[in-house]
Structure 1
Amino acid sequence: MLKHLLVVLLLCFATNSFAQKPILKEKDSTERAQDSIKKIKYLKQLGNGFLPFNYFDADMRYLIKFNQYEGIRTGLGGVTNKRFSERFRLNGYIVYGFTDKRLKFSGGGGFRINETHNTWVNFTYTDDLMETGSSTFLTDKRFFTFFEPRLLNIDLFHRHITKSVALEHRFSDNFLSETQLAVSDINPTYFYNFLINDKSYSNYDLSTLRISLQWSPFNEVSTIDGKEKVKEGYPKFTAQFTQSFKSIFGSDFNFSKLDFRTIQQFNHKNNSKTNITLVAGIASGEAPLTHLYHAYPNNINKETILQRFSVAGLNSFETMYFNEFFSDKFSTLQLKHFFRPFNISERFKPQLVLISRYAIGNMNSINRHQGIGFETLEKLYSESGFEINKLFFGFGLSFAYRYGSYHLPEFGDNIAFKFTFNISL
């Protein structure tokens, strides 16, 4: 905004003081405005996690990460941009884990078959790790942060070699879809056996179909310079169906999954807001632990509060220990109220957030999963707490307390005290 204002002021000054050279000054101001627009686009690319080059945008997600299995994970990745082609694209990455001493990589490409609905056909080959019990939606928009808080403490991964073909299609500005066919070779990195029909599997093959839909009926979308969201509207709805087919391309199991998420946000007049997130999932059939659910725990299995001091996640259960619960059907409810930031000074504006989280779930045929111990969530899991964000260079503090049916005997084991990190480009 200041840059655009500066351009206007310079133009006015030039018009009044140097009327004898209007064409030259008009050209200069136009160039300045164009430079300003380029800088805004450049910063937007950085905010989305890309470092733009001539025909290729480097993906900063792969530069450096850390988890308990790989240790430091570092590499390079990226995707071709519109200067390369508006109809074709190539993407990929290669990373190395210094603790497990393995390379992981992915490569693929796509081509657009319909411009009006932004319809793309994509092909991908991936050899990488995935967190056991995690569930993601194909249609989730890209969300970039400098680091992923939960990733620091995750230790339960399975390796997957996946070949996939996917179809992206935009029915409208507010209704997105993606369909994927994939063949995967799954190999847990921990001791695990899946017992089904008197046969034990320590690794297995899966052939899956996933259909994901995202509906944001109240988003306001601009058609200037492409279709870009200019204002987020609520509620938002996302649903995904997964089907694994036994005996197709050597697949070992037949199971189905249905996942759902809705997000509602109320923006209040005093610059505060309330956010409500409901997530649910159900799996039926011969689903191994790798493809079931956890409730996104984020508490380290250590004895004291200070030993467990780490980074609070964005939507995770801070008092729930890693690998403590797994479910084949579950639901979670998260309530957050963001108070108006404290206007202490121009640069120091901390914000108080009140948080409550609840989870419930169950699991049939728990004896199928051998080699790893865990509990289920038949009773309601509850935790509440608060965050004080942006105290110092984006850092803040988080406190959460575990209570109710899964309250632990030792008082200190129910407490999670961590720091938060909130910053964007």
Structure 2
Amino acid sequence: MNNAFFKGVWALIGALLLTFTSTAQTITIKGKIKDGYTLDAIPYASINVVGMTTYGTASNERGEFTLQISGPQRKLMVSSVGYDAREVDLSNESEQYEEVFLYAQNAIEAVSVKAPKIRYSNKNNPAVELIRQVVAHRDENRLTGQEYVEYNQYEKLVLGLSNLNEKFKNRKIFKNYQFLFQADTLGTSDSSYILPAFMEEKYSKNYFRKDPKTTAQEILAHKQADFDPRFVDNSGVSNYLQRLYDEVEIYDNNVTILTNQFLSPIANSAPTFYRFYITDTITTDHEKLVELSFFPRNKNNLLFKGKLHITLDGHYAVRYASMTVNKEINLNFVRGLNIELFFEKDNQEKYYLTRSNLDIEFSLSEKGKGIRGTRVVMIDNYTSGLVRADSVYRLAKETPTKPTKNDIPVDWTSIRPEPLSANEANVYANIEGLQTMSSFKRIMDISALVLAGYKQFGPVEVGPVNTFYSYNPVEGLRLRLGGRTTELFSERFYMEGFGAYGTNDQKWKYFVSGTYALNKKSPYKFPQHYIRASASYDTRIPGQNLEFIQEDNVLLSFKRGEDLSYLYNHQYRLDYKAEFEGNFAITSGINIWKQMPAGVLSYQQPQPDGSMRTISELNTTEFNLGFRWAPNEQFYQGKTYRTPIFNEYPIFNVNYTAGLKNVLNGEYNYHNFTAGAFKRVYLSQFGYADVNVDGTYILGNNIPYPLLTIHRANQTYAYQLSSYNLMNFMEFVSDHHAALQVQYYMNGFLFNKIPLLKRLKLREVFSFKGIYGGLRDSNNPDLSDQVYAWQRNSDGVVSSYTFTGSPYMEASFGVANIFKILRVDAVKRLSYLDHPNAPTWGIRARIKFDF
């Protein structure tokens, strides 16, 4: 998880701390199942409504449950393997809490003494044979096994502060709002409270066609509790929460939750990773089911535990599923995770998902305050075999997947499958009311300063504070002050700028830009469509193009090796960008660029008499055109940057830059073609890998190296994902190259097997980076006197090169999740070790938040 998302999340938490709601639930039973003798919680107990086969649930690993019903029935049947079943009479109250005690059967107690002596085996195990039948029939029972399917889907995501104690409730700030605090019956103690504070609802019409394969969703209604957009990217928060609370498809080999992949209990390889037991048989008026309980063979792997109800009608379909995870699992900030899935028969006698409940509670500690979120998905009007015209599928697929505003006229009471509770219904009004509270505004203002680095002053904000001071050997102490406008100044036109002064070179630097949106919305909101003009005079290290962070960030002031090659850059830019709903973007622009060497960097060109001519500046005029395609991309949007929320889909980039000679003082003609692709590859229990490939080819003769590709190096002590961490600044130059970078995150798969390490929840990270390219003779300073000579260091030794017969390579092994936020890598350079000041080993660190 990128740190930028936490800027929005912690701002959201600040809002949660000040959000108050009233409560009352209609036809809701909450409770806890306990052993009548030991008073211990009984996990995975079955709770069913007597006389109603469509209503039922199971207790979670703490013995807790929540069940919503409608109808005249007022009696529950509670049962668990090894205990006598018990009926519980309910009252007529709309919300009630039941504490149910079950008593163990004597026969089961005797068996439990012998159970540990029984060696588990897949061979001749009826439970394993049953799950293999489920796997064999998986394709015919899943959605993609049907020819044509359509259905309506309602989704609800509710988020709130949980496990709030009496001390928190009785704080002075809450004195007038005591009646809003409600008992949290699923909390970790009997005196905890919860405050629901965020909610999003979506109602859609969904279509699936097998051939040609088409999946389309038409959003009919969408509603979300929005925060002040000056502080929080509401769409980005929604995207990230939807990614954390992803749809649970048990028929897939892997279930994605919390951006991680958990192996499904009915995956092809499930018998290798899970233990299965037949624990009960269930007979209803219509069918007979087998209860199949499953547990991970290794409690530390990303696996579930729980139970399945399997049909015995020859289809071996899942009728019900209840799943959770072990506490020993290597997850961060997760205190509880529970999943429930319910299935019914469709018009062709096949089972389909009618309801899914995903409940996750986040917390920094086991018993402290937390954030609990619940995602409920309900499906109705499910129809198989209904053939639609191509235009129906095309229209649904072309419809935006999420309206940007809560302005679709709809009667929500008529489309919700079940009514909202009173506290949920008040969330929208509470969030809107927060925007007018001075205390809330102060919290958000402080959060923006601490986390984003900006302090607001009405229509402008000053920052970022981490650039106010920095140091480099050319400028010395660099003092900078900058800022930008906000929505209060204009929603379509934004200005940004800074002024900086170096105490060594005694020169002023500046940057100023203006951005105007062409689509009547903020230029920082998707889809972007804007034009931007900018002018700047500043220092820069050649070849460095840092993303999401300024080069004069104080944290980057500390570097290894020699750091004396700089440029003074005078630039005037005009940029245009247009994004489209399919996550396709076009960029173009003109750049007038003057580069003046500084420090030990100099432009020297050989002369016929053997002398060197010093060139004071290099002038270029460039036109660029770029294309980017990121199918199904999600992201968190900051004011001037985006933090991608990576998924399994690739991202492609293609760019073309033309140097224009004799246009606005341009001195060279050239054509620069670059292309790249990124893909996250999920490997189930073995983690995931981020793979980057890119390449460049520059057409043109007698082009000096500052206009070629100076490969991105890193001389700081921070591990940089896209840079070569043991390459020196300006060390390699090429006019054509191909590169591969792989970051492999094992998510603790190895460390979880080591007793001394698994308690620390450390995670392994491996990386490899390789790049190979070269220079054509006309652009190679070793072979041509028509271009600038190679750069030399302060000792007069050549310090820039091209590739000579072998690629540059480096590899690293890292330990991540140290204190849940820190990654430390040991990096090894594998080639070109004979270059001056080339490091062999290095230790690099990086802050990284992950679940």
For residue 69 of structure 1, what is the amino acid of its counterpart? V
- Report the counterpart of residue 131 of structure 1 in structure 2: 541
Q: Does 1:382 align with 2:793?
A: no
Q: 2:586 aligns with which of 158, 177, 202?
A: 177
In structure 2, C-alpha distance between the alignment counterparts of 1:150 and 1:69, rounded to whole Å:
12
In structure 2, C-alpha distance between the alignment counterparts of 1:163 and 1:123, rounded to whole Å:
8
CA drift at 1:106 = 0.9
Q: Does 1:122 align with 2:532?
A: yes
Deviates more, 1:240-249 or 1:186-195: 186-195
The 5 Å alignment of 1:30-69 reads: 34=435, 43=447, 50-60=454-464, 62-69=467-474
In structure 2, C-alpha distance between the alignment counterparts of 1:248 and 1:14, rounded to whole Å:
72
Deviates more, 1:252-261 or 1:262-271: 262-271
- Deviation per CA, 1:93-122: give whole Å up to 9, x if none: 112233333221011212222237532221
Q: Which residues of structure 2 form unaligned runs of 5+?
A: 1-11, 25-177, 183-421, 522-526, 782-786, 792-797
- Deviation per CA, 1:166-207: give whole Å up to 9, x if none: 212223351222211122222121222256999874412211
For residue 254 of structure 1, what is the amino acid of its counterpart? N
- Report the counterpart of residue 355 of structure 1 in structure 2: 767
Q: 2:674 aligns with which of 259, 264, 287?
A: 259
Query: Does the residue aligned with 1:249 lie in a helix, a strand or coil?
Result: coil
CA contact (8 A) 1:158 1:290 kept: no
Q: 2:688 aligns with which of 264, 273, 279?
A: 273
Deviates more, 1:150-159 or 1:176-185: 150-159
- Report the counterpart of residue 219 of structure 1 in structure 2: 633
Change (3 A) 1:30 1:127: closer
Q: Does 1:110 align with 2:536?
A: no
Query: Does the residue aligned with 2:664 lie in a helix, a strand or coil?
Result: helix
Q: Does 1:420 align with 2:845?
A: yes
Change (3 A) 1:403 1:180: same
CA drift at 1:49 = 5.3
In structure 1, C-alpha distance between the alignment counterparts of 2:774 and 2:808, rounded to whole Å:
12
Q: Does 1:282 align with 2:677?
A: no
For residue 293 of structure 1, what is the amino acid of its counterpart? T
- Report the counterpart of residue 187 of structure 1 in structure 2: 596
Q: Does 1:207 align with 2:621?
A: yes
For residue 191 of structure 1, what is the amino acid of its counterpart? S
Query: Does the residue aligned with 2:734 lie in a helix, a strand or coil?
Result: coil
In structure 2, C-alpha distance between the alignment counterparts of 1:108 and 1:380, rounded to whole Å:
40
In structure 2, C-alpha distance between the alignment counterparts of 1:244 and 1:257, rounded to whole Å:
8
The 5 Å alignment of 1:206-355 reads: 206-220=620-634, 231-233=645-647, 234-270=649-685, 272-285=687-700, 286-299=702-715, 310-340=717-747, 349-355=761-767
CA contact (8 A) 1:134 1:291 kept: no
In structure 1, C-alpha distance between the alignment counterparts of 2:452 and 2:674, rounded to whole Å:
26
Q: Which residues of structure 1 form unaligned runs of 5+?
A: 301-309
In structure 1, C-alpha distance between the alignment counterparts of 2:449 and 2:580, rounded to whole Å:
25
CA contact (8 A) 2:456 2:462 kept: yes
More strand as a share of residues: 1
In structure 1, C-alpha distance between the alignment counterparts of 2:494 and 2:485, rounded to whole Å:
5
Change (3 A) 1:64 1:317: same
For residue 504 of structure 2, what is the amino acid of its counterpart? T
- Report the counterpart of residue 478 of structure 2 in structure 1: 73
TM-score (norm 2): 0.41
For residue 235 of structure 1, what is the amino acid of its counterpart? P
CA RMSD of aligned residues (A): 4.3
- Report the counterpart of residue 393 of structure 2 in structure 1: none
Query: Does the residue aligned with 1:385 lie in a helix, a strand or coil?
Result: strand
For residue 14 of structure 1, what is the amino acid of its counterpart? F
- Report the counterpart of residue 780 of structure 2 in structure 1: 366
In structure 1, C-alpha distance between the alignment counterparts of 2:628 and 2:453, rounded to whole Å:
22
CA contact (8 A) 1:295 1:359 kept: no
In structure 1, C-alpha distance between the alignment counterparts of 2:433 and 2:543, rounded to whole Å:
51
Change (3 A) 1:418 1:64: farther
Change (3 A) 1:291 1:347: farther
CA drift at 1:269 = 3.9
CA drift at 1:253 = 1.3
In structure 2, C-alpha distance between the alignment counterparts of 1:423 and 1:41, rounded to whole Å:
25
Change (3 A) 1:399 1:78: same
CA drift at 1:274 = 0.9
CA contact (8 A) 1:105 1:128 kept: yes
CA drift at 1:386 = 1.3
- Report the counterpart of residue 166 of structure 1 in structure 2: 575
CA contact (8 A) 1:129 1:160 kept: yes
Deviates more, 1:364-373 or 1:110-119: 110-119
For residue 240 of structure 1, what is the amino acid of its counterpart? N
Deviates more, 1:239-248 or 1:8-17: 8-17
Change (3 A) 1:191 1:402: same
In structure 2, C-alpha distance between the alignment counterparts of 1:98 and 1:403, rounded to whole Å:
39
Change (3 A) 1:133 1:209: same
For residue 56 of structure 1, what is the amino acid of its counterpart? V
- Deviation per CA, 1:327-382: give whole Å up to 9, x if none: 12222211111122579999965432111111101012312221523221141222
Identity %, equivalent residues: 18
- Deviation per CA, 1:63-114: give whole Å up to 9, x if none: 2334343344331222211111012221111122333332210112122222
In structure 2, C-alpha distance between the alignment counterparts of 1:95 and 1:70, rounded to whole Å:
10
TM-score (norm 1): 0.78
Query: Does the residue aligned with 1:252 lie in a helix, a strand or coil?
Result: coil
CA drift at 1:292 = 1.8
CA contact (8 A) 2:816 2:822 kept: yes
In structure 2, C-alpha distance between the alignment counterparts of 1:179 and 1:255, rounded to whole Å:
17
In structure 2, C-alpha distance between the alignment counterparts of 1:193 and 1:87, rounded to whole Å:
46
- Report the counterpart of residue 503 of structure 2 in structure 1: 98
In structure 2, C-alpha distance between the alignment counterparts of 1:251 and 1:66, rounded to whole Å:
32
CA contact (8 A) 1:59 1:76 kept: yes
CA contact (8 A) 1:352 1:388 kept: yes
In structure 1, C-alpha distance between the alignment counterparts of 2:569 and 2:643, rounded to whole Å:
34
- Deviation per CA, 1:259-314: give whole Å up to 9, x if none: 222111124444832111112222222433222223322358xxxxxxxxx33323
In structure 2, C-alpha distance between the alignment counterparts of 1:197 and 1:180, rounded to whole Å:
39
CA contact (8 A) 1:241 1:257 kept: yes
In structure 1, C-alpha distance between the alignment counterparts of 2:842 and 2:445, rounded to whole Å:
38
Change (3 A) 1:324 1:87: closer
- Report the counterpart of residue 307 of structure 1 in structure 2: none
For residue 789 of structure 2, what is the amino acid of its counterpart? Q
Query: Does the residue aligned with 1:321 lie in a helix, a strand or coil?
Result: coil
For residue 296 of structure 1, what is the amino acid of its counterpart? R
Rg larger in structure? 2
Change (3 A) 1:268 1:97: farther
CA drift at 1:58 = 3.0
Change (3 A) 1:237 1:71: farther
CA drift at 1:385 = 1.5
For residue 775 of structure 2, what is the amino acid of its counterpart? M
Change (3 A) 1:294 1:204: closer
